[in-house]
Homo-oligomer: A and B are copies of this chain.
Amino acid sequence: MNADKYFLEHRKAHLDELCDLLAIPSISALSEHRGDMRTCAQWLQQSLLRLGMTRAEVMETGGHPAVYAEWLGQPGKPTALIYGHYDVQPVDPLDLWETAPFKPTVRDNKLYARGASDDKGQLFMHMKVLEALFRLEGSLPVNVKILFEGEEEVGSTNLARFLKEYQELLKADVVVISDTGLYAPGVPSLTYALRGLAPLEVTVTGAKGDLHSGLFGGSAPNAVHALVELLASLRRPDGGVAVTGFYEQVRNLSDEERATFASLGFDEESYKRELGVAALPGEPGYSPLERLWTRPTLEINGIFGGFQGEGTKTVIPAKAGAKITCRLVPDQDPTRVQDAIEQHLKANCPRGVTLDVKRGDGAPACITPVDHPAIRAALAALAEAYGKEAKFIRGGGSIPVVGLFTSVLNAPSVLMGFGLEDENFHAPNEHFHLENFDLGMRALYSYWHKLSTAF
């Protein structure tokens, strides 16, 4: 029996089993669900043993447990580490759900439940693909390790320590993560790069205290004015970042990447409608999609200073502050970016005020070269399953665990995710398009074969 037929025949059984998994309210953020978290981990461990993994354990992390499993029956073949997370976001506001978040329901070929797409649905696909390989072929084409985390939605607090502690156990040639999405419905696509992050907090202080704008206005520094002047200087009028050195380490977009992105047919008009804006300002010389995926940004996330109440208060504010984060791209070093911005702020600080800059924890961007064999194999598997050309895409956000896998395990990540942007992750009525449940499993089935001969 071939895989296609197998998945078709077992579809109902698979969905029923997935619904059992989704029915466990594994909300990591709420302490009253601590028991559910462990129940869910044990459910996964039992399933993994049942489907054919030689080892499966619930492992302590200090927080919610992780699940580890392995099958290493292909010495000489590549070893892949599959990462997923079984914890989900809280469900409030509950009254906006059309059906209860932990009573999975299929409507219109979409499975509605908290975690359906993010990420229980996707990690379950991996399990069923491995099961299919065991049943149809008696073994896996590559060595497989599995790490299912229970704290992704609460910042993966214990993951870095866990990865370091079990570095040897988790060692792999490639990490496969199914926690991202397709570019658009019906477009097989593979995320090969994510942006990093460099946070800063700026505080400007003028006089000892707020001053009366009548008695002092005209001859006293205004912290808010100084701050807006400083912040405005960070961006050029054309939309680019004006900080010297900011773009210095930025890896140029290749012609191949540009062509691929252009072929996706990004619809500027519908994007503007979606955001409710009349223009998409940004760095010149790049399309909106290129800016989102391949160019670094500097965004003010918040600003405060002086009087914020109702009406008028004639005060010269003594203090003002702003929070900034930069999204970074390969090969920017977060510390060097923070250095450059701090230097710019110091050099441009207006007279009469003092400046304080605090740095948050940065994270570099992640990229797996598009010619990496594990990436090429994934693209081919996607094309095969979807029956059309698969596209390389990037992501504008950051997935911190990817950086951890790179830095601790020194393994490239393949982000082979099957979600869609409109699937309401973290919101009421989360759902998963079952078309991608079906096609995704076929792609993953084929992927392990292609990976076994890729290196």
* Closest partner residue, chain B, to A287 (CB atom): B219
Q: How many copies of this kind of chain does the complex include?
A: 2
Q: Is the CB of B396 within 8 A of A216?
A: yes
Quick check: is A312 within 8 A (CB to CB) of the other chain?
A: yes
Quick check: is A212 within 8 A (CB to CB) of the other chain?
A: yes
Contacts of A325 in B (CB 8 A): 213, 312, 314
Contacts of A208 in B (CB 8 A): 275-276
Question: Most chain-B Cβ atoms within 10 A of its Cβ — which of A277, A313, A398?
Answer: A277
Quick check: is A374 within 8 A (CB to CB) of the other chain?
A: no
Q: Is the CB of A207 within 8 A of B276?
A: yes
Contacts of A104 in B (CB 8 A): none
Q: Is the CB of B279 within 8 A of A221?
A: yes
Quick check: is A285 within 8 A (CB to CB) of the other chain?
A: no
Among residues 164 to 211 in chain A, which have CB atoms less than 8 Å away from a CB atom of chain B? 195, 197, 199, 206-208, 211
- If A232-B229, A312-B325, A327-B217 touch, whether A397 touches B303 (CB-CB below 8 Å) is no
Would you give the 0/1 interface string for A255-270, flagging 1 where the beta carbon is closer than 8 Å to chain B? Answer: 0000000000000000
The size class of the interface chain A forms with chain B is: 35 or more
- If A235-B229, A297-B213, A314-B197 touch, whether A218 touches B396 (CB-CB below 8 Å) is yes
With A219-B271, A301-B316 already in contact, 16 other A-B pairs whose C-beta atoms are closer than 8 Å = A199-B312, A207-B275, A208-B275, A212-B397, A213-B325, A216-B275, A217-B299, A218-B283, A232-B233, A299-B314, A302-B315, A303-B304, A303-B306, A303-B308, A308-B323, A313-B323
Q: Give chain A's interface residues, CB within 8 Å of chain B.
A: 195, 197, 199, 206-208, 211-222, 224-225, 227-229, 231-233, 235, 237, 271, 275-283, 288-289, 291-292, 295, 297, 299-309, 311-317, 320, 322-323, 325, 327, 350-353, 360, 395-398
8 interchain residue pairs of minimum CB distance: A214-B397, A302-B306, A232-B232, A302-B307, A218-B291, A208-B276, A219-B288, A279-B352
